[in-house]
Amino acid sequence: MSVSEKDFHISAPTTLRAGEVTFTVHNEGPERHEFIVAHVGANALPLRTDGLTIDEEAIQKDEVGELEPGEPGAVRQLTLKLAPGRYVFFCNMAGHYLGGMRHEVVVQ
Amino acid sequence: MQRLRSILHLRRARAFRPFASGGGRIVVAILTTFALMFTLSVVLSVLATEHSRGRAKVVEVAARQRTLAERYVEDVLLVQSGRRADPQALGEILRSSAEALLNGGVAPSVHGDDDETTLPAASGSALRGQLAQEVRLATDLTSMGSAILAHRPMSAVALTGGEHIEAADPVERLRVVAALTSNTSLNATTTIASNTDSNIAQLLTMQIALGVGGLLVSLLLAWGLIAATRRRTVHFRSLVNFSTDLVAVLGVGGCRYASRSLSALVGRPERELLRAGFDECVHEDDRAKVHAACATGSPRELGFRMLNSAGEWRHLEAHVTDLRSDRHVAGVVLNARDATERVLLERDLAQQAERDKFASQLIEALEMADDENGAYDVVERAMTDISPQTPMELLLSDSSRAHLERVATSPSAGAPACPVQSPFSCAAVRRGSAVVFDSSDALNACPKLRDRATGPCSAACVPVGFMGHALGVLHATGPDGAPPSAEAVEQLTTLATQAGARIGTVRAFEKTQLQAATDGLTGLPNRRTVQTKLRSMIKAGHAFALAIADLDEFKKLNDKFGHEAGDRALRLFAQACTSVLREGDLVGRWGGEEFVLSLSGLDAARGAAVAERVRVRLSESLGGGHPPFTVSFGVTDSRQSDTLEEIVQIADAALYESKAQGRDRVTVGAPGVELVDLEPASVDGHAEDPQAAEGELDGSSNLRSERRASERSHHGALHAAVDEDNPAPQGAEIR
CA-to-CA distance for B198 and B203, rounded, in angstroms? 8
Q: Residue B144: its pLDDT value, please?
A: 93
Chain B residues touching A99 at Cβ < 8 A: 163-165, 176-177, 179-180
**Contact call for B162 and A52, based on CB within 8 A:** no
Task: With beta carbons under 8 A apart, name residues in chain B contacting A9.
Answer: 162, 164
The answer to whether the beta carbons of residues B98 and B128 sit under 8 Å apart is no
In chain B, the percentage of residues whose pLDDT exceeds 70 is: 88
Segment among B3-17, B441-455, B676-690 with least mean pLDDT? B676-690
- CA distance linking residue B382 with residue B491, whole number of Å: 9
Starting at the edge strand found earlier in the chain, the sheet holding B435-437 runs B404-409, B392-397, B469-479, B457-466, B435-437
What pLDDT score was predicted for residue B507?
85
Residues 141-200 of B with CB under 8 A from A: 161-167, 172, 175-180, 182-184, 187, 190
Across the interface, do B179 and A95 touch by the CB < 8 Å criterion?
Answer: yes
CA-to-CA distance for B383 and B397, rounded, in angstroms? 19
**B183: nearest CB among A29, A73, A94:** A94
If you measure CA to CA, which chain A residue comes closest to B159?
A99
Cα B278 to Cα B325: distance, rounded to the nearest angstrom: 22
CB-nearest partner of B165 from A6, A30, A98? A98
Nearest CB to B133 within list A7, A94, A96: A7
| Whether the predicted pLDDT of A103 surpasses 90 | yes
Predicted confidence at residue A29, as pLDDT, reads: 78
Question: Which residues are B476's β-sheet partners?
Answer: B392, B460
**Burial class of residue B336 in the structure, from the number of CB atoms within 10 Å of its CB (0-12 exposed, 13-18 middle, 19+ buried):** buried
B357 — pLDDT class (breaks 50, 70, 90): confident
pLDDT value at position B400? 65
Residue-level pLDDT at B143: 93
For residue B173, the distance in angstroms to the closest alpha carbon of chain A comes to: 9
Please give the pLDDT value at position B702: 37
Q: Does residue B585 sit in helix, strand or coil?
A: strand
Least confident range of B145-159, B225-239, B651-665: B225-239
pLDDT at res. B650? 92
Which range among B49-63, B158-172, B423-437, B464-478 shows the weakest confidence by mean pLDDT? B49-63
Of the listed ranges B5-14, B190-199, B427-436, B513-522, the least confidently predicted one is: B5-14
- B177-189 pLDDT, tens digit each: 999 999 999 989 9
pLDDT given at position B92: 93
Question: Min CA distance, B162 vs chain A (Å)?
Answer: 5
**Residue of B673 and B623 predicted with greater confidence:** B623
- Mean pLDDT (chain B, rounded): 83
Contact B259, B240 (CB under 8 A): yes
A99 to B164: CB separation less than 8 angstroms, yes or no:
yes
The pLDDT, as a whole number, for residue B22 is 58
Among candidates B167, B178, B180 on the partner chain, residue whose Cβ is nearest the Cβ of A8: B180
Q: Is the confidence at residue B697, as pLDDT, over 70?
A: no
B230 has pLDDT over 80? yes
Nearest-CA distance B30 → chain A (Å) = 46
Give me the percent of chain B exceeding a pLDDT of 90.
27
The Cα B399–Cα B378 span in angstroms is 21
Of A72, A98, A99, which is closest to B126 when you measure between CB atoms?
A72
> Which amino acid is present at B299?
P
Give the mean model confidence (pLDDT) for residues B8-35.
69
pLDDT exceeds cutoff 80 at B53: no
The ipTM of this complex is: 0.90
Q: Is B589 exposed, middle or buried (0-12, 13-18, 19+ CB in 10 A)?
A: buried
Q: Do B307 and B283 contact (CB within 8 A), yes or no?
A: yes
Tell me the pLDDT band of B719, cut-offs 50, 70 and 90: very low
Question: Which pLDDT score is estimated for B691?
Answer: 41
Model confidence at B620, in pLDDT bands (50, 70, 90)?
confident
pLDDT grade for B128, boundaries at 50, 70 and 90: very high
pLDDT interval class at B2 (50, 70, 90): low
Amino acid B417: pLDDT:
84
User: Residue B79 — very low, low, confident or very high, per pLDDT cuts 50/70/90?
Assistant: very high
Q: H helices of B457-553, where?
A: 486-517, 527-540
Q: Work out the average pLDDT over B293-301.
A: 86
Per-residue pLDDT for B175 more than 60? yes
Predicted model pTM? 0.46
Contact B161 A31 (CB under 8 A): no
Alpha helices in B622-700 (DSSP H): 644-660, 690-698
Q: For A56-82, what is the mean pLDDT?
A: 90
Question: CB B163 to CB A99 under 8 A?
Answer: yes
- Per the CB < 8 Å rule, is B126 touching A51? no
Residue B673: predicted pLDDT: 53
Asked if B328 has any chain A CB less than 8 Å from its own CB, the reply is no
Which residues in chain B touch residue A98, judged by CB atoms under 8 angstroms apart?
165-167, 176, 179
Q: Which of A30, A51, A100 sits opposite B164 (nearest CB)?
A: A100
